[in-house]
Amino acid sequence: MMVDTLTVDEALANVQQRMRDAAASGVPLVQQAARHIIDAGGKRLRPRLLFHAYGAAGGLRLEEALPLGVAIELIHTATLVHDDINDHSALRRGRVTVNAKWGRTIALLTGDFLFTRAYSLMAPQGDRFNQLLASACSALVEGEVLQAVVAKSGQYDRDNYVRIISLKTAALFSCAARLGGLKAGAPEEHVEALGTYGHNLGLAFQIVDDVLDITGDPGVTGKPAHEDAGQHKLGLVALARENGGTARGTNLRDTDILTEPLLAAGLVDEAMGKARELTERGCAALQTLPDSPARRALEGMARKVVSRDR
Amino acid sequence: MMVDTLTVDEALANVQQRMRDAAASGVPLVQQAARHIIDAGGKRLRPRLLFHAYGAAGGLRLEEALPLGVAIELIHTATLVHDDINDHSALRRGRVTVNAKWGRTIALLTGDFLFTRAYSLMAPQGDRFNQLLASACSALVEGEVLQAVVAKSGQYDRDNYVRIISLKTAALFSCAARLGGLKAGAPEEHVEALGTYGHNLGLAFQIVDDVLDITGDPGVTGKPAHEDAGQHKLGLVALARENGGTARGTNLRDTDILTEPLLAAGLVDEAMGKARELTERGCAALQTLPDSPARRALEGMARKVVSRDR
């Protein structure tokens, strides 16, 4: 059956425009600040995942999944604005951050605003969709709180690290994949499979993100470029340690762990191995879905996540 | 028709418990911080308004309006937590604020968390309810941004002031009243009347709040106790000025306006007169609804708003 519908790339271009539209406001400053971060772009990984999941689940009119993609990316964007306040970040995607440009109060409110706009967009979607997204939103916040708690105590272990990245990253990935499947009207079993794929993709994505935070650091042998990098190193050490790696016994309270010994100890390789394992697990779950170009696109996303360099 | 249902006071006690339940989390710190502010109590004016509106619109089973009352108060509470960050407030309702106790990052996330929990509670309520609440949430944020903009520029005029308090306060009051009416299945005309009542009640409430911020100030002749008080004075001056009051020509850029001259100029009296006028307008709108104990309770709320001293 051929239907004249959007391609995923066309849908993603639409997401960009619709995010800008959603940020319209009678109060110019909040619109300007919201569009500042929206226009900074990004990988738009979550809507991409949602759209491919929709296709893989047999959806034929990508238009109907568009508002979901917009809402999920608005929520992700809201969390970035709030994260940048908490991390005192001055740059995001090559642009000055909202907090650096307009101050903390406006940044806090801009994050809130993006969130309320996502909520507006979701209103017509019905109970199940809203419940799924609301749970993912709570998880995001819980993950950030847990990260702050663990960072403060220095009590990193593998369980903490996995729990943090499950909440703060994998929950929204899993939600995106499920929402796509649900919108396509897929049977529960397929929605579940997509959720499992999204969850594992999200975990792998965050591990690779943390690895890149270290290996992408220009001063490789120096101290972390920002506080976060130290946290990520500790997380990765904790992860590798339980993998039976060479890091056993590393003092996880030491925030001065250097990148060089980390590389030497093979921890980064171990973490990347773990990420690949997770994407494979995710792709295995997809095998319950019929083969299709969209399913292959999901498999391609998984490969890309573990081979990316930014 | 007699139905065995909750009284408004019973429903409000329920709201308190359900807010605590909604704040449950597997991450202890965010639950603790959220319950810290919930347990500080408050007037619970918005759910009270919602419940009386439900009754005035003919609703007979207050239980069904409960989740709406909980959600709206969670949202209000979320904005308080974020406001306290922006205002660097150390005390709220006689308790140390979340930001003073746990720091800014946790406070920001606690506000976000309360918001996501409200969103979860609303998920089963359907399109119209969610759309109304989402719009009110955006308005809240826009009002805070506009207030920050005007505070910075010092360009207070009556229009700005009314626009700020319409967005940041009256929108949620109006929404509460409408949600109550809608839940009772009231005809559109009654929902509208309740919205008009709520809007005017919200405006009056905020004006009185701003007045109390001045007259309740222990150092009556001194400078504002906090930055906010200065803002409120400017707003009130702007309001009175256009009322044909004696403040015509006051320099609205002067953040050092003292309370004593403000009182002497009769500005506070004028503001209170304006608040009374607004509540009367609100109560007039209620006359399209049949007389009932609940309608009289709404009229009582209006009287109380303009006679309160805290």
* Interface contact A127, partner B, CB < 8 A: yes
In this prediction, residue B265 carries a pLDDT of: 63
Asked whether B207 and B236 are in contact (CB, 8 A), the reply is yes
pLDDT higher than threshold 80 for residue A223? no
In this prediction, residue A5 carries a pLDDT of: 81
* Interface contact B71, partner A, CB < 8 A: no
In this prediction, residue A245 carries a pLDDT of: 42
Q: Is residue A2 part of a domain?
A: no
* Interface contact B122, partner A, CB < 8 A: yes
Q: Is residue A3 part of a domain?
A: no
Averaged pLDDT for residues B198-219: 84
Average of per-residue pLDDT values in chain A: 87
Q: Is residue B112 part of a domain?
A: yes
Residue among B108, B134, B145 whose CB faces A123 most closely: B134
Q: Is residue A62 part of a domain?
A: yes
CA distance A155 to chain B (A): 15
* Interface contact A91, partner B, CB < 8 A: no
Per-residue pLDDT reduced to its tens digit, A285-306: 999 999 999 999 999 999 999 9
Our count of domains for chain B comes to: 1
pLDDT higher than threshold 70 for residue A189? yes
Q: Say how far apart CA A26 and CA B25 lie, in whole Å.
A: 36
In this prediction, residue B155 carries a pLDDT of: 77
Residue among B30, B119, B142 whose CB faces A137 most closely: B119
Residue B228: give its domain's CATH number: 1.10.600.10
Q: Is residue B227 part of a domain?
A: yes
Q: Which residue has the higher pLDDT, A152 or A293?
A: A293
Averaged pLDDT for residues B96-118: 97
Q: Which residue has the higher pLDDT, B291 or A255?
A: B291
Q: Which residue has the higher pLDDT, A128 or B217?
A: A128
pLDDT higher than threshold 70 for residue A255? no
Nearest alpha-carbon partner for B183 in B304, B272, B28, B62:
B62
In this prediction, residue A267 carries a pLDDT of: 79
pLDDT higher than threshold 50 for residue B6? yes
Q: Say how far apart CA A157 and CA A196 lie, in whole Å.
A: 23
Q: Which residue has the higher pLDDT, B145 or B243?
A: B145
Q: Is residue A287 part of a domain?
A: yes
CA distance B291 to chain A (A): 34
**CB contact residues (below 8 A), chain B span 19-38, against chain A:** 25-27, 29-30
In this prediction, residue A270 carries a pLDDT of: 85
Q: Could you write out the DSSP letters of every residue in chain B?
A: -------HHHHHHHHHHHHHHHT--SSHHHHHHHHHHHHT----HHHHHHHHHHHHTT---GGGGHHHHHHHHHHHHHHHHHHHHHTT--EETTEE-HHHHH-HHHHHHHHHHHHHHHHHHHGGG-HHHHHHHHHHHHHHHHHHHHHHHHHHHT---HHHHHHHHIIIIIHHHHHHHHHHHHHTT--HHHHHHHHHHHHHHHHHHHHHHHHHHHHT-SSTTSS-SSHHHHHHHHHHHHHHHHTT-TTTT--TT-TT--HHHHHHTTHHHHHHHHHHHHHHHHHHHHTTSPP-HHHHHHHHHHHHHHH---
Per-residue pLDDT reduced to its tens digit, A211-222: 887 776 554 333
In this prediction, residue B154 carries a pLDDT of: 76
Nearest alpha-carbon partner for B66 in B133, B13, B136, B25:
B13
pLDDT higher than threshold 90 for residue A39? yes
In this prediction, residue A265 carries a pLDDT of: 64
Per-residue pLDDT reduced to its tens digit, A160-187: 889 999 999 999 999 999 999 999 999 9
pLDDT category, A154, cuts 50, 70, 90?
confident
* Interface contact A130, partner B, CB < 8 A: yes
In this prediction, residue B230 carries a pLDDT of: 61
Q: Is residue B2 part of a domain?
A: no
> Over pLDDT 70: what percentage of chain A?
82
In this prediction, residue A240 carries a pLDDT of: 64
CA dihedral A102, A108, A110, A116 (to 10 degrees): -170
Q: List the single residue in B with minimal CA-CA distance to A29.
A: B145
**Full domain range(s) for residue A134:** 8-307
Measured in whole angstroms, the distance separating CA B73 from the mean position of its chain's CA atoms is 10
In this prediction, residue B196 carries a pLDDT of: 98
Count A/B contacts: CB-CB distance under 8 Å.
129
- Helix axes B127-153 and B66-86, enclosed angle (nearest 10): 20
* Interface contact B127, partner A, CB < 8 A: yes
Q: Say how far apart CA A186 and CA A163 lie, in whole Å.
A: 29
Say yes or no for a CB contact (<8 Å) between A105 and B86.
Answer: yes
- DSSP assignment letter at A290: P
Q: Is residue B1 part of a domain?
A: no
Say yes or no for a CB contact (<8 Å) between B30 and A116.
Answer: no
pLDDT category, B158, cuts 50, 70, 90?
confident
pLDDT higher than threshold 80 for residue A77? yes
In this prediction, residue A188 carries a pLDDT of: 97
